[in-house]
Structure 1
Amino acid sequence: MHATLPLLEATDFPPISRGATETLQVNLGYLCNQSCVHCHVNAGPHRTEMMTPELIDTIIEVLKARRIGTLDLTGGAPEMNPEFRRLVSAARALGVHVIDRCNLTILFEPGQEGLAEFLAENRVEVVASLPCYSLDNVDKQRGKGVFDKSIRALQHLNGLGYGQTQEGLQLNLVYNPQGPVLPPNQEALQADYKRELFDHFGVVFNGLYALANMPINRFGSMLISKGQFEPYMELLKQNYSEANLHGVMCRSLISVDWQGRLYDCDFNQQLGLALGGKTGARLDDLLKKDADGLGICVADHCYGCTAGQGSSCGGAL
C-alpha cells in the first residue's frame, strides 16, 4: 500500500496563497550516508539521484535574477553532491544567506575532509538533525553509532565558532518525535537540550527546531504497516490551529527538486504536487517571472504544519 495515497484525496484544508519568495530550498539529491526511519524523502547510501552541474548553474542564475535572500540546501546529504561547495561559494559571493541541512555524521565521511572548515569560512548556517539528546533514542532512529559521531561533529563545529553567540556562526538543531505524536513545546525542549548537551558533552548551539513528522514516504509507510496512519492524521486534524496558517513556510519558500522541478514545499515535492498545482513548473520559469501571489497546492499532509504549535523548516510557528 502506498503511504501517500490517502493524502491525495479531497481535502478540507483551507486555501492559501504565497507572498514574496524569500527562500529557495534546493534538494541536491537523495544520496545520503544515513537511512533514518523518519526520513520523508527515502534518502540513503544507495540512492543515485543527483542534481547536475547545469542545474546548479541555473540555481545561481535564479539567485541573481530574483534577488532571493536565502538558499536552503537539503537532500539526502546535500554535501554529497560534488557541486555543493561551488554552489555555496557562488551564493555567498552574491550576498545570499546559505543554510546547510546537515546530518552531522557527514563531516567524517571520506571525501568530506575540511567540510566543517569550509562551512565556517563561508559563514553557512548549519541546521543539524539530532532527534534526541540521549544515545539510545538517536541510534534507534538513525543507526548505531550515529549519536557519538554527531556529538563529535557538534564539538568540532563549536571549536570553529559555531553556536557560541547569536551574532556569530549559527548552529541550530532539529528534533523529530520518535513516533506518531506531536512534538513537545519547543522552548521547554530547547532548554532541556541545552542543559543536557552542555552538562554531558560541553556542546552549545543557538536554537532548537521541533518539527512534526510528516505522514509520507518512509514514515508514512511505517504508520500504515502498524495501522497508525488514520489515527495520526486524526491527531493532526484535531490539533489544527488557524493562527499557524500565517507562518507556514510555503508562503515565502519555493522548493526545487534534484531535476529542477518546482514545488510549494519539500513535502509537496515528495508527493509530486507541483508549484501551485500546475504541472511542469521548472527552475527556468523563475528566470522569466516570479511566483508571488500564486495559489498553494494543499492536501491533508498540510495539517502536519498547522497542528499544535505548528511546524516549519524554521521550527515551531
Structure 2
Amino acid sequence: MSPPAVPRAPKATTSLLQRRSPLAQPLQQRATLAALDLSQTRHQGDFDQALAAQGCQSLRPDALEILQLNIGKLCNMACRHCHVDAGPDRTQENMDRDTIDACLAFLDQTTAHTVDITGGAPELNPHFRYLVDQCVARGKQVIDRCNLTVLLLAPLADLPQWLADRGVTVVCSLPHYRQRNTDRQRGDGTFEQSIAALRRLNAVGYGQGDPQRQLTLVTNPVGALLASNQAKAEQEWKAGLLQHQGVSFDRLIALNNMPIARFLEWLEASGNLQAYMELLVNAFNPATLSGLMCRQTLSIGWDGFVYDCDFNQMLDLPIRQNPRAGEPGDRPRLQIRHCTPSDLAQRQIITGSHCFGCTAGAGSSCGGALS
C-alpha cells in the first residue's frame, strides 16, 4: 500500500525582513507602540503605573525554573500573527553549537528543571537533536514548541518517535479546531497538514494521557480579541477534534496575541491597533502578576544574548550588565557565555506597554492562562 499523500504546503505571508518593512526593526515596533495615545485608558496605558497601583514598584525575578532557548528564526511557515517574524528566508539567525554549549554550561549552574526550546521552527536548527539529548541527559524536562507542519518534512519523518523516546513534551500551535480559522491565520493548507501531523504524534503515543508523551495545543485568537476561556475551550476542542478528525491531545493553552512584529503589522494595517491596545490595557488583571513567565523564565536569543522573556527578545530589550562605579554611558547587554545566575538574580525586569498582553483578562504566558 502506498503511503498517504502529504497535504499541500501552507503559505501565509512573507517575513517583514524579506519585504523590507520598517517594522522589521524592533526600534520601529517600539516607536509605533509608544506613539499611541492611551491617556484615556486605565493607568494611562503605562505599565509601570499599573504595577504601582498594586504597590509594586517593579517586577523582580523569582527562582529560575525554565530556561527558554530561541534557537533560530528559520521556519517552514510564515504565519500572519508571528511575533518572531520567522520564515523560510530567516536562514542566518540560527543558534550555533558553541552558543548551545554555553547555554548548557549556564543551565548546569542553575536549579532550572525545564528547557523550553522554541524558534522559528526549532527542529530546523541542525543542532536541535544534540540540544535535546544533552538536556535529557541532565534530567531536565524538555519542551519542543512545534508548528506541527514541520513534522511532515521528509528529513524529519522520524521525529515524532524520536521525541517520544526521550519523553519530550510537544507544544503545538493550532489556532482553531476548525479549518477556516486556522487557515485564515496561518495560511491555506495549514489545518490539513496540522491534522496529519497530530495523527503522527498520536500514533507514537502522544495525546493519550501518558505524562512522558504530553501533547499540548496552543491557540491564539484570530483577530483583535483576547484569548477565550481556556478551560471551556479545552473541552470544546477535545470533543471537536476527536469527533471530526479522530485526534486527541492532553492540554490546551490559550494565549493573547502580542502586538509585536507581524501581528503588529496586521493590527496597524487593519485599523485595529489603537482599539486592541486599549482592550489590553483596560483588561489589566493584577492576579496575573505573580505568574508572569518573566519571573520564573529566562529567555536566550539565537545569538546568545539574554532577555527577561521571548517578547522582550523580539523587541530587542535585552538584560544589561549591572552598572559599575563611575561607568559612563549605556551598559553592555549580557551574553549567556559571560554571565552567571547570580548576575541575574537581583535584576529589575524590563517592562513596556506590550506587557499588557500578558496581563490582560485571564493572563497569557508560555504556559497559558495565569488566573
Q: Answer yes or no: same fold by TM over 0.5.
A: yes
Give a deviation string over 1:2-45, Cα, whole Å, max 9, x none. Answer: 33324357934322111111111111100000000110011001
Partner of 1:99: 143
**How many angstroms apart in 1 are the aligned matches of 2:202 and 2:183?**
22
**How many angstroms apart in 2 are the aligned matches of 1:249 and 1:276?**
19
Q: Name segments (4+ residues, structure 1) moved above 4 Å.
A: 276-279
Deviation at 1:107, TM superposition (A): 0.7
Partner of 1:11: 46
The DSSP-based 3-state class of the residue aligned with 1:87 is: helix
**How many angstroms apart in 1 are the aligned matches of 2:212 and 2:66?**
21
| Structure 1 residues 28 and 239: alpha-carbon distance in aligned structure 2, compared to 1, 3 A threshold | same
Deviation at 1:286, TM superposition (A): 3.7
Say if 1:123 and 1:169, in contact at 8 Å, map to a contact too: yes
Partner of 1:53: 97
**How many angstroms apart in 2 are the aligned matches of 1:143 and 1:110?**
20
Partner of 1:182: 226
Q: Does 1:311 align with 2:351?
A: no
Structure whose alpha-carbon radius of gyration is higher: 2
Partner of 1:282: 335
Aligned positions of 1:120-135 closer than 5 A: 120-135=164-179
Q: Which moved more, 1:63-72 or 1:79-88?
A: 63-72
Q: Does 1:89 align with 2:133?
A: yes
Say if 1:8 and 1:299, in contact at 8 Å, map to a contact too: no
Partner of 1:221: 265
Deviation at 1:290, TM superposition (A): 4.9
Q: Which moved more, 1:12-21 or 1:69-78?
A: 12-21
Q: Which moved more, 1:253-262 or 1:13-22?
A: 13-22
Aligned residues: 317
Aligned positions of 1:216-295 closer than 5 A: 216-275=260-319, 279-287=332-340, 289-295=342-348
Say if 2:169 and 2:212, in contact at 8 Å, map to a contact too: no
Q: Sequence identity of aligned pairs in percent?
A: 45
**How many angstroms apart in 1 are the aligned matches of 2:308 and 2:100?**
20
Q: Does 1:142 align with 2:197?
A: no
Deviation at 1:288, TM superposition (A): 6.5
TM-score, structure 1 normalization:
0.96
**How many angstroms apart in 1 are the aligned matches of 2:74 and 2:107?**
24
Say if 2:288 and 2:359, in contact at 8 Å, map to a contact too: yes
Give a deviation string over 1:82-134, Cα, whole Å, max 9, x none. Answer: 00000000100000110000001111113213111111011000000000011
Deviation at 1:289, TM superposition (A): 3.1
Q: CA RMSD in A?
A: 1.6
Partner amino acid, structure 2, of 1:30:
K
TM-score, structure 2 normalization:
0.82
Partner of 1:40: 83
Say if 1:107 and 1:153, in contact at 8 Å, map to a contact too: yes
Unaligned ranges ≥5, structure 2: 1-21, 23-27, 36-44, 52-57, 322-330
**How many angstroms apart in 2 are the aligned matches of 1:240 and 1:79?**
35
Partner amino acid, structure 2, of 1:17:
R
Deviation at 1:168, TM superposition (A): 3.8
Task: Give 1:80's match in structure 2, choosing from 124, 127, 140.
Answer: 124
Deviation at 1:292, TM superposition (A): 2.0
Partner of 1:67: 111
**How many angstroms apart in 1 are the aligned matches of 2:212 and 2:130?**
23
Deviation at 1:231, TM superposition (A): 1.1
**How many angstroms apart in 1 are the aligned matches of 2:251 and 2:240?**
14
**How many angstroms apart in 1 are the aligned matches of 2:102 and 2:143?**
18
The DSSP-based 3-state class of the residue aligned with 2:237 is: helix
